Amino acid sequence: MFKYGTSYNLALDKFLLWRDFFKVRVHPEFYSLYKPGCFSEVSMEFSKRSREVALEITRAISESLGLEPNYIHDAMNMERGIQMLAANYYPPCPQPEHAIGIPHHTDHGLVTLLIQNKMNGLQVEHNGKWLTVDGPANGFFVNLADQMQILTNGKYKSVMHRATVNNKATRISIAIPHGPSVDTIVAPAPELLEKEGQAPKYLAMNYKEYIQLQQSEKNYMKSTFDHIRA
């Protein structure tokens, strides 16, 4: 199962998009491409290892909340969780100020690992301003995503981000989003609510329905959270 294209959502022309991409699902079933020849092996190894990193991050988050290390893994059925490998290609753009690589959005899963070549371009929203994130050399950016915010009842925030383009050199990024299994019903963790004496801030929703809601044209770019606020 893979997707490729030259924009994020062709139905919308609110933004001038400047990106080629392809996405392939690598978990729970591993899909690949026939070409280039080494792609299958390399992407399998890369996906497996980045999955271990992502799982370790969910363990650290679980523990930071006073939960069992495998709490998020188990509650989100990550054994069958969705993992994608998405490659983004942003060629130099003659008028970068009039275009965008990927418009602002939050990722819908739990945690996204992101690497890039030497060109910066990722921006995150912080206190109402866009900040360009300096790429770590040989490191991952870690972006938390919507289901993490829901599960932790807002303790861990899903980061609003976008990709800008430049007129100097091609930027390449590889995003590896990890989410629950498609059939998981995600809600604020009851154990956490009890411990903290909190009321749930979000309604329970099936992950697949959440993705459909986020991707439906009507809600695109609006906060999907608005639909599930308790």
Ligand X SMILES: O=C(O)CCC(=O)C(=O)O
Interacting residue ranges for Fe ion, rule: CB under 5 A: 107
Q: Judged by CB, which is closer to Fe ion: 153, or 214?
A: 214
In whole angstroms, what is the distance from residue 230 CA to residue 117 CA?
Answer: 41
**156-184: burial string, b at 16+ Cβ within 10 Å, e else:** bebbebbbbbbeeeebbbbbbbbbbbbeb
The tokens for 219 are 């809600």
Q: Minimum distance from CB of 84 to Fe ion (Å)?
A: 11
Q: 76 vs 175, which CB is nearer to ligand X?
A: 175
Return the residue nearest Fe ion (CB atom).
107
Residue with smaller CB distance to Fe ion, 50 or 192: 50
Cβ 207 vs Cβ 180: under 8 Å: yes
Nearer to ligand X, 75 or 105 (CB): 105
For residues 146 and 159, is the Cβ–Cβ distance under 8 A?
Answer: no
- Termini Cα distance of the chain: 34
Residue 111 binding partner per list Fe ion, ligand X, none, with a CB distance cut-off of 5 to 8 Å that depends on partner kind: none
Phi, psi of 178 (to 5 degrees): -120, 130
Distance of closest approach, residue 85 Cβ to ligand X, in angstroms: 10
Confirm if 206 and 77 have CB atoms less than 8 A apart.
no
Contact 182, 207 (CB under 8 A): yes
| Shortest Cβ 71–ligand X spacing (Å) | 25
Residue 164: contacted member of Fe ion, ligand X, none (CB under 5 to 8 Å, by partner type) = none
Q: Choose among ligand X, Fe ion, none what residue 61 binds, the Cβ cut-off being 5 to 8 Å by kind.
A: none
Q: How far is the CB of 163 from Fe ion (least distance, A)?
A: 8
Secondary structure class of 114 (helix, strand, coil) = strand
Closest distance of CB 118 from ligand X, Å: 13
By CB under 6 A, name the binding residues for ligand X. Answer: 86, 88, 101-102, 107, 114, 116, 121-122, 161, 163, 173, 175
Please identify, using beta-carbon distances, which residue of 107 and 146 lies nearer to Fe ion: 107
